[in-house]
């Protein structure tokens, strides 16, 4: 891949070669547009078995090249009887592999194999008690009456020939079915979500007992594989790394340095959107503690000028991505030549940036693009560098495990995620030097108070957002008209979903008082209590 970054779901032929060589033990997930598809992948990886989300259009022949041990069909927003509803290659049913259909995936299995699906008299959403009729195979060690998470308006009304009932709920007669001889299974609920109390046991049964997988997806195995892959791809060429100081780029720097040593050149482009004191801390840490040289480029005025008057968040990201690449190209001419650009792109970045699964017949999208990520969404199609993205397969928690395994200090491993565009997407509307200074000061107070109380590791992210509006206040018996600061503090496992943190009131009180008293041009602090979904963690 030596030009623009393309979608994972459009890369099946290329990824067939890679995964077929390096990951014999794997579960393939065909994505029909479910918001939980990536969560299925994460749950499987927690069993130390590799998994990857692929387009529902992946053919049986392409799957044979991947050589998976089993296949999972995800849920999706459509009904199987809708015109243009996504369908998988019918030859998949003849591959002789274990297949688990989840929600829409189960209904598609039923329909394509001769059964019937219809709109249910009563839909079922949220928690439901599952009553197990067959406690073997898929439901081994799953407690009868356990809670599972439902989200469906359709139900199976007639099972295909050879299928048997495994479980039911009060509203859903066919909550789980199976063709034991062909190892075809379907569940109407979502075992991958945390609300499904017996979900992990069910997934482990499918992965280990039915697919007969082995625990080959380990941190040590990934590090060894990644180093081999980097060396094979890069050869004796030089690599330029976009270093930000976060866990992703720092882990990437350590990994690349282990693989290719002095062939790596780390460059820190200071775009002016970092948090207070972070550029200085980053350079000192890498030079004095890690002994990895970093080339510092001050590009603050350049980025601020390019974003003058820009308010649209997608346009901000596009401009920032473009300026990053331009800055790297200029730096590469000065320090180079370089053949490769290394990026800390993660799996959620790829998924959230994807215009995934556009139906070739109807042109409809099965899944919706949420937002562009700096690492994957703002790159021009004439990108001169070839890309090296060793972390592209990993979720954030997996990156942290890799960081620890290769010797990254805990202060970086446990650092909260920070977006590539930095504070530029935490200022709603136009970016100005004044607004950046206000947000830096407010954000520093948030981090100081969370750290001092030992709460930092309790939260996935804790930060401030500046709104481009003003409100009336009273300070020192005088009327003020100043900016509000939004506090955004969330809990999450991997950033795919998140909940607002129940921060103690006294902590919020101290943060609010300090911001209003210490940060100029701020007279109000509010707390964001929106989960993801429906909101995103970042405001832009």
Is 190 in the active site?
A: yes
Catalytic residue, candidates 88, 103, 174, 211: 103
Give 505's contacts (C-beta < 8 A, 6+ positions apart).
none
Residue 38, SS3?
helix
Say whether 19 sits in a helix, a strand or coil. Answer: helix
Instruction: Collect all residues with Cβ–Cβ distance below 8 Å to 432 and sequence separation of at least 6.
Output: 304
Is 174 known to be catalytic? no
Using the 8-state DSSP alphabet, how is residue 207 labeled? I
* Active-site position among 190, 257, 373, 374: 190
Do residues 150 and 125 lie in contact, with contact meaning Cβ atoms separated by under 8 Å? Answer: yes
How far is the C-alpha of 303 from the C-alpha of 215, rounded, in Å?
Answer: 46
Is residue 18 within 8 Å of residue 24, measured between CB atoms?
A: no
User: Of all residues in the chain, what percent are helix, strand and coil, respectively (each to 5)?
Assistant: 35, 20, 40
CA distance 510 to 496: 30
Q: What is the DSSP string of 469-522?
A: --EEEEETTEEEEEEEEEEEEEE-SSSSSBEE----HHHHHHHHHHHHHHSTTE
Helix (H) or strand (E) holding 463, with range, is: strand 461-466
Kindly state the helix (H) or strand (E) to which residue 9 belongs, with its residue range: none
* Nearest C-alpha neighbor of 106 from the set 201, 174, 37: 174
Active-site residue among 46, 52, 192, 389? 192
Q: What burial letters (b/e) apply to 25-34, b meaning 16+ CB within 10 Å? A: bbbbbbbbbb
3-class state of residue 375 by DSSP? helix
Place of tokens 């406690």: 135
Neighbours of 274 (CB within 10 A): 21
Residue pair 96/68 in contact by the 8 Å Cβ criterion: no
Place of tokens 């520093």: 444
103 is catalytic: yes
Q: Which of 224, 288, 234 lies closest to 262 in space, CA to CA?
A: 234
Q: Is the peptide bond before 259 cis (omega within 30 degrees of 0)?
A: no
- Residue 4 near residue 383, CB atoms below 8 Å: yes
Closest by CA to 347, choosing from 306, 383, 387, 396, is: 396
Q: Would you call 237 helix, strand, or coil by DSSP?
A: coil
**Which are the catalytic amino acids?**
103, 190, 192
């Amino acid at each position: 891949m030596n030009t623009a970054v393309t979608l994972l779901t459009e890369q099946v032929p290329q990824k067939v070669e890679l995964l077929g060589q390096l990951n014999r033990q794997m579960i393939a997930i065909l994505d029909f547009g479910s918001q939980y598809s990536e969560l299925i992948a994460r749950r499987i990886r927690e069993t130390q078995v590799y998994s990857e989300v692929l387009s529902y259009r992946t053919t049986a022949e392409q799957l044979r090249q991947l050589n998976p041990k089993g296949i999972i069909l995800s849920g999706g927003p459509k009904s199987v009887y809708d015109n243009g509803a996504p369908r998988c290659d019918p030859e998949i049913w003849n591959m002789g592999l274990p297949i688990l259909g989840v929600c829409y995936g189960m209904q598609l299995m039923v329909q394509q194999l001769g059964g019937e699906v219809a709109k249910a008299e009563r839909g079922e959403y949220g928690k439901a008690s599952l009553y197990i009729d067959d406690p073997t195979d898929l439901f081994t060690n799953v407690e009868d009456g356990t809670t599972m998470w439902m989200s469906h308006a359709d139900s199976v009304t007639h099972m295909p020939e050879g299928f048997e009932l495994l479980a039911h709920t009060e509203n859903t007669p066919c909550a789980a079915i199976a063709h034991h001889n062909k190892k075809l299974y379907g569940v109407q609920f979502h075992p991958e979500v945390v609300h499904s109390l017996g979900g992990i046991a069910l997934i482990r049964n499918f992965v280990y007992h039915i697919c007969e997988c082995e625990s080959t997806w380990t941190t040590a195995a990934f590090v060894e594989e990644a180093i081999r892959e980097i060396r094979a791809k890069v050869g004796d060429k030089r690599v330029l790394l976009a270093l930000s100081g976060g866990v992703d780029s720092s882990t990437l720097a350590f990994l690349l340095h282990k693989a290719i040593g002095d062939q790596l050149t780390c460059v820190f482009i200071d775009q002016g959107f970092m948090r207070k004191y972070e550029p200085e801390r980053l350079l000192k840490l890498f030079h004095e503690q890690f002994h990895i040289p970093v080339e510092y480029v001050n590009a603050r005025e350049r980025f601020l000028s390019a974003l003058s008057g820009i308010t649209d968040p997608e346009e901000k990201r596009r401009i920032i991505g473009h300026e990053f690449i331009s800055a790297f190209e200029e730096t590469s001419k000065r320090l180079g030549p370089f053949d490769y650009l290394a990026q800390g792109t993660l799996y959620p970045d790829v998924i959230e940036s994807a215009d995934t699964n556009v139906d070739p017949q109807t042109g409809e999208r099965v899944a919706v693009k949420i937002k562009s990520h700096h690492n994957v969404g703002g790159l021009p199609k004439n990108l001169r560098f070839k890309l090296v993205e060793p972390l592209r397969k990993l979720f954030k928690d997996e990156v942290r495990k890799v960081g620890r395994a290769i010797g990254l200090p805990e202060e970086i491993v446990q650092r909260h995620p920070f977006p590539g565009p930095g504070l530029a997407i935490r200022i709603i509307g136009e970016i100005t030097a004044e607004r950046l200074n206000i947000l830096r000061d407010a954000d520093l107070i948030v981090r100081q108070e969370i750290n001092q109380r030992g709460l930092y590791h309790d939260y996935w992210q804790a930060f401030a957002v500046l709104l481009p509006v003003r409100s009336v206040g009273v300070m020192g018996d005088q009327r003020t008209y100043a900016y509000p600061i939004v506090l955004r503090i969330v809990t999450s496992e991997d950033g795919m979903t998140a909940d607002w943190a129940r921060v103690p009131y006294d902590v919020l009180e101290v943060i609010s008082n300090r911001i209003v008293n210490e940060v100029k041009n701020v007279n109000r602090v509010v707390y964001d209590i929106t989960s993801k979904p429906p909101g995103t963690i970042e405001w832009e």
